[in-house]
Structures are given as C-alpha cells and as structure tokens.
Structure 1
C-alpha cells in the first residue's frame, strides 16, 4: 500500500468537491470516530464466534467501514503533517518494547 499515492488520490477527491474547508483536524477525527461507530455497530449483539464468522454481506460492510476509517486517518495525518507509516512504526516499536518479554 503506497500511502503517498492514496493521500494524493484523496486530495484530488477533496479538492474536486471543495471539501478542504471542512477537513480540519477536529472534523476529520470526529468523522473517523463516526465511521468506527458504524464498524462497531456491525458487531453489536453478536457472540464472539459470530463476530469471527460474519456473513459475506456483513464482512463486505465491515471492509467498507475499515476503509472509511483508514482514509479519514490518512487525511487527518496529512492535515497535521504526520507521516502515517512513521507514527504506526513508532507505536509498534514502543509496543514491542513495552509488551514483549
């Protein structure tokens, strides 16, 4: 996955629709949160086993929501001047240090 290419494509969509005015860090964080809530809703009231064996339509829906979340996070990183690859790698390194024995 080439994050720079994905970000450029997102910026084209944003710019073609004059959405930059709405893409403040606050709004993008809230939008990602809303999409996460939509993902959570797919799993609401399911057992642990059911959550691991979603029907094809629900699995596709979950994929759509995951995509929405990632795209909003890419836009958020762009607005904040963060490199998503770098922040994820740094967090993973920190988690390895803290939780690997």
Structure 2
C-alpha cells in the first residue's frame, strides 16, 4: 500500500489467470447479493429513520448518538495553554514565526 500515491499494488494480480479467477469470484459474490457489495446489509426505512434521528454533526462530536446528545463521562473546561503545534522536520518558511 502506497499512501503517497493512493495505490494498492498486489503483485499476484499481475498474473492474468489469478486476476480473472478473483474477478470471477468477486462478480459471483456481488451477483448473489443482488448487485451490491457482499458485506452490505439491507437498509430498511426503520434503520434509515433511526440513523437520521441520531445523527450528530462533526462540530458536536459526530456519529450516531441517542437523542442527538453526546455523553461525556468527565467533561472539562477548555483552558488555553499557549501550545502552538509545529513540525520539527519541516524547514521554516517566511509564513512561520
């Protein structure tokens, strides 16, 4: 896996016989599931309604939370510490102070 180029290189797939066998197996599994990914469950209206009712935006904690409230065991106040993140491996530029 090369995250810099967003590639997954699988050398066995360079063999056409292996590639075609795996592709045929994949197509068969997808066809058995009605044309959808084999791990994809049925999303009925009950599930979708529940997800819509529980959805919380990213700025409020993100995810699916009961009654759209995020519960925090030990809430704490945000206090400014003066911390300034920096990359010690990056050379300084004219924009940095």
**What range is the shorter-chain TM-score in?**
under 0.3
**RCO higher in 1 or 2 (8 Å CA, sep ≥ 6)?**
1
Q: Which has the larger radius of gyration?
A: 2
Task: Give the helix-richer structure, 1 or 2.
Answer: 1
TM-score normalised by the chain length of structure 2: 0.28
